[in-house]
Structure 1
Amino acid sequence: MKNYITVCFLLCCAWLSAQDKNPLLADPTIFENEGTYYLYGTKGAKDVDGEGFQVYTSTDLKNWKKPAANNGFAFKKGDGYGTTGFWAPQVFKYNNKFYMAYTANEQIAIASSDSPAGPFKNDGKPLAADVRQIDPFIFFDNGKIYLYHVRLENGNRIFVAEMENDLSAIKPGTLKECITATKPWEDTEKVKWTVTEGPTVFKKDNLYYLLYSANDFRNKDYAVGCATSKSPHGPWEKPDSPFISQSLLKYPGTGHGDVFYDKKGSMYYVFHTHFSESEVAPRKTAIIPITLKGKQLSIAKGKNIIWLVL
């Protein structure tokens, strides 16, 4: 009995140690380039000076480190648009250049760089919009560019619009609503201002998959659903239950992440959780293997959360 207690204590200490070394990024995304994985997200660690988007790198998805350049920031306040509220970046490659779509001052901006590690910079202007908008995700399909994003009007609602080829603006007349909270699991607290956010889109066998988070991020029931459509514009068929949630993973506040693939082509979802059962922030960063069978996206059988460790 004494040996059993000792083993449990050591395992608990090891788990707590791993959490202490977590990157503590919310709204995370992972971008792979030439064998290196780049992790970005909304900064949560209070002991990190500066505002903007930190970047961590790894070659094995297990051990992560912060680049020395720019104190580990891929984009820092002053490098372009924004003075506060640097949230939810997405990094992609387009026309042999790297781009970062991000939120600042509750507007969307796009910065560019010659390296996925940054520094990303722009001219200090956001995309033109008549409402507050956040959580950009840019998707390329059949020669067109789509901006999936959240508009803050009568709730957090997910929209899509086609973009100009130079990424400077959305095309007039193409804006269309995709997702708003209508299912019971998407609004467990019965609030007036419902929330659907954090869109990620991919395509498989001519079917479009839109992953999104629902409920307020401070709600323990924050969770991820996967809607499908035969068109990038929708209409979207939404699930009756989430495929990533507290009830499935046993951690509160699971959501707002991105799909990525490892070097072997295995599929993952990177996301954040609450810091603990009693504290929301700083949110912790994790990945989990997922699988697509038929048209059903789910957590890979027998797989558990993998906490990212520095």
Structure 2
Amino acid sequence: MLADPTIFKHNGMYYLYGTKNNPNIQGEGFLVYTSADLENWEGPAGAHDGFAFKKGDGYGDTGFWAPQIFEHNGKFYMAYTANEQIAIAVSNSPLGPFTNAGNSIPFNGKQIDPFVFFDGGKIYLYHVRLNEGNRIFVAEMEDDLSAIKPETLTECVHATKPWENTQNVPWTVTEGPTVFKNGSLYYLVYSANDFRNQDYAVGYATSSSPFGPWSKDNNSPFISKQLLNYPGTGHGDIFYGDGGDMYYVFHTHFSNIQVDPRKTAILPITLQGETLAVKPNAEIMWLH
């Protein structure tokens, strides 16, 4: 269905976005599907030919990856990757069309996988920089979301654990950050290994500050091929259901021998004390 998925909930409706992975749908950009119950999905339902953001609506020519949707000051925003840069578009509706003036967040290198996080009156951009591997960074943003404050740029994590580099490659990968706060503790949920690797998996780290230092959890990865008996489990986002239940939406490989088109799945997750884990006896929900 979609790779690098995210689900945004608004007024009782769930909106699913992600990296387009269906060659039968023409066009480039970000499709959106809708559901009232997380089981029955309709779409693509975006305002621009099924797309919430379609190539030409703003910044980007190619490589439309990994969107995140958030509401801010009465508008809906989409942070996304295109041309291996990060841009932010705005809309009056979760269905779009999301638009911008054709600008990206200024940076001289390559940056992908944005996650905008609001905390204590400040706005933070978690993202991946392609510098000696895919490394997750954070920086405080300007109030108008136009740029980061360079003096605040801080590396969060890169691959150091055996599970994060199962093929022992020189260019290691940590990516797809999602951040949430529980009490005074910050959680950074991320994926590691190349997405084409069957061992692509999800772990997390915790910190008492949005800048870190981050302590990687010893139980990571908590979503993996070993747990689900399905390859390529990762790069998703956390969202909450009607009753406040926590979920992680992510993608898997198409099969044990084929990466694409990737499948979209949901798992109920929970905090057991300060430990993030898949909910006991949870069943994987496949989105079709």
TM-score of the two chains, using structure 2 as the length reference: 0.98
Percent identity for Structure 1 against Structure 2: 70
Instruction: State the partner residue of 2:29.
Output: 52
Q: Are the aligned partners of 2:251 and 2:263 in contact in 1 as well (CA < 8 Å)? A: yes
Larger Rg: 1
Give the letter aligned to residue 293 of structure 1: Q
Give the letter aligned to residue 186 of structure 1: E
Alignment of 1:7-22 (within 5 A): none
Distance apart, 1:32 and its partner CA? 0.3
Greater share of helix: 1
Alignment pair present for 1:42 and 2:24: no
Q: Residues 136 and 35 (structure 1 numbering): CA distance in 2 closer, same or farther, change over 3 Å? A: same
SS across alignment from 1:173:
helix
Instruction: State the partner residue of 2:6.
Output: 29
Instruction: State the partner residue of 1:65.
Output: 42
Q: Are the aligned partners of 1:30 and 1:37 in contact in 2 as well (CA < 8 Å)? A: yes
Match of 2:124 among 130, 146, 157: 146
SS across alignment from 1:69:
coil
Distance apart, 1:293 and its partner CA? 1.2
Instruction: State the partner residue of 1:253.
Output: 232
Alignment pair present for 1:133 and 2:140: no
Give the letter aligned to residue 236 of structure 2: G
Distance apart, 1:70 and its partner CA? 2.0
Cα shift readout 1:118-144 (whole Å, capped 9, x = no counterpart):
000000011000210000000000000
Instruction: State the partner residue of 2:163.
Output: 185
Distance apart, 1:239 and its partner CA? 2.3
Q: Are the aligned partners of 1:212 and 1:256 in contact in 2 as well (CA < 8 Å)? A: yes
Alignment pair present for 1:76 and 2:67: no
CA distance in 2, matches of 1:243, 1:115: 34
Q: Residues 255 and 68 (structure 1 numbering): CA distance in 2 closer, same or farther, change over 3 Å? A: closer
Distance apart, 1:69 and its partner CA? 3.4
Alignment of 1:1-310 (within 5 A): 24-66=1-43, 67=45, 69-240=47-218, 241-309=220-288
Q: Are the aligned partners of 1:88 and 1:102 in contact in 2 as well (CA < 8 Å)? A: yes
Give the aligned CA root-mean-square deviation in angstroms: 0.7
Instruction: State the partner residue of 1:7.
Output: none
Q: Are the aligned partners of 2:124 and 2:141 in contact in 1 as well (CA < 8 Å)? A: yes
Distance apart, 1:72 and its partner CA? 1.3
Instruction: State the partner residue of 1:20.
Output: none
CA distance in 2, matches of 1:142, 1:290: 26
Q: Residues 68 and 183 (structure 1 numbering): CA distance in 2 closer, same or farther, change over 3 Å? A: closer
Q: Are the aligned partners of 1:249 and 1:304 in contact in 2 as well (CA < 8 Å)? A: no
Instruction: State the partner residue of 1:16.
Output: none
Cα shift readout 1:168-220 (whole Å, capped 9, x = no counterpart):
00012000000100000000000000000000000001100000000000000
CA distance in 2, matches of 1:244, 1:184: 15
Give the letter aligned to residue 306 of structure 1: M
Distance apart, 1:68 and its partner CA? 6.5
CA distance in 1, matches of 2:125, 2:258: 33
CA distance in 1, matches of 2:231, 2:161: 19
SS across alignment from 2:204:
strand
How many residue pairs end up in the alignment?
A: 286
Greater share of strand: 2
